Structures are given as structure tokens and as C-alpha cells.
Amino acid sequence: MFEQNNLSMNIREFKTSLYKEMAGMTKALGNPHRLEILDLLAQGPVSVEYIATNTNLTIANASQHLQVLKNSMLVESERRGKYNYYKLANQEVFNAWCALRRLGFSQNQEIAGLIQDYQKERNHLKTISIDELIKKFKEENVVIVDVRPEEEYKNGHIENALSYPRQNLKNRMNEFPKDQEIVAYCRGPLCVMADEAVELLNKNGFSASRLEKGFPDWKAGNQPVQTGTVDGHEGDARRKKKIY
């Protein structure tokens, strides 16, 4: 009887330890700034300074949040010269973020309401799915525009996509063809850069839509992607490198 009770206690301790470790990882996700940081890191490795700038955090606060994520083994860091660069620990972290995102969309009415209100203000901008873009991509009858900052574009982008950062788009619209559909994409469904770009393009007479999801989702589906730069003025695909 003593041995059976002792064994049961050891099993309970084992299970408690497992759930405790799992709870520690999920606790690290229980902060809006850390979720935004994960969404940003899904684009590729970036410095603490870049994260702070793009999340409206101080460098000190961004570093604190990154340490929590690192201690929970959700992100990794490496030294590049004078700067620390952070990245997602692996693909499973992105998969977990996507699952959490889907859960929020399906179960949280507040999230659904916020998205509906935002889309209503944007006059229900046209969106297309990744499957639809794949079809257009194969038929080569679409111009794909990456409106994220150039650093994220260089880390990786949809094959043959041209870099037109949102803040530069207004001054470069004369470079787009009027007789082709334009699909803009950004970081993902919680990012608004592509919405703003599509709204601007449509107001200026172009046929534009936004990719429903973002570059990380495209890459996670093993679709063709590239690193490097493209001269948006000429659509010059030199200096690109394919990655899969």
C-alpha cells in the first residue's frame, strides 16, 4: 500500500511539474506587447532597437519583454556586432501564435467587433486568400507589393514581390500599371499597413486588394519566397536569393 501511494504521489508531482512549465510558457504570452513582438519577429530576426521603434516601446521595456520571452524559450538571441538580434525560437512558436490568433478571432466577440468596425471604416476593402494569390501568382497576372519596412522585406518576402514601404507608396504610385491587379501584403491579419496601402491605391484608380494574411503565413505554407532586395522602380529581380 505504501509503495502504491508513493508511486501515485510521484506521478502527481510529475504531472504538476509538467503543467507548471506549460503555464510558465503561456504566462509569457499574457501581455499585449509580447504578442506584438512575436508578430514582428515572425517577419525575421531584428534588433532590440528595431523592435522598440516598431512597437512604440522604450528600448528598456522592449528588452524586458524579450527577456521574458527568451526565458520561456519562445525567442532566441544572437550578437551581431554591437547589437543583439532576436528571432522566434522555431516554427512551432509561430504555429502557436497562429493558433492563439485563430482562437481569439473565433471565441472573442470583442476582437470580432473591433475588426468589423475597422473594416467598415475602410469601406470593406477587398481581401484575397493565400490560395487565391497562389493561383494569380502562377498565372502571372498580378503585381505583388510588400508594404512592410525594407528591413523586413530583405529578411524574406514573397517571390517576385516588389518593395514599396507604406510611407513611400504615395510618391511612387506612377510606377504601377493601371491594367493589372495589385495585391498588397504586410505582416499578417493584425497588421494595417496593407489596408492603408490598398485604400490609397483604390482611391487613385488602381484595382487593389490585400492579402488576407501575411508573409509569415505564406512562408509557413512552403510557398516560394526570396531574400534580398528588388529595385521597385524597375522590378529588377537581381540580387535576390530563393529560399524554401
The catalytic site residues sit at 186
Report the DSSP pairing between strands 127-128 and 75-80: unpaired
Grid cell at residue 61: 521595456
User: What is the SS3 assignment for the chain?
Assistant: CHHHHHHHHHHHHHHHHHHHHHHHHHHHCCCHHHHHHHHHHCCCCEEHHHHHHHHCCCHHHHHHHHHHHHHCCCEEEEEECCEEEEEECCHHHHHHHHHHHHHHHHHCHHHHHHHHHHHHHCCCCCEECHHHHHHHHHHCCEEEEECCCHHHHHHCEECCCEECCHHHHHHHHHHCCCCCEEEEECCCCCCCHHHHHHHHHHHCCCCEEEECCCHHHHHHCCCCEEEECCECCCCECCCEEEEC
Cα separation of 217 and 117, whole Å? 24
Helix axes 48-55, 59-71, angle to 10 degrees: 110
Count the neighbouring beta carbons within 10 Å of the beta carbon of residue 124. Answer: 9
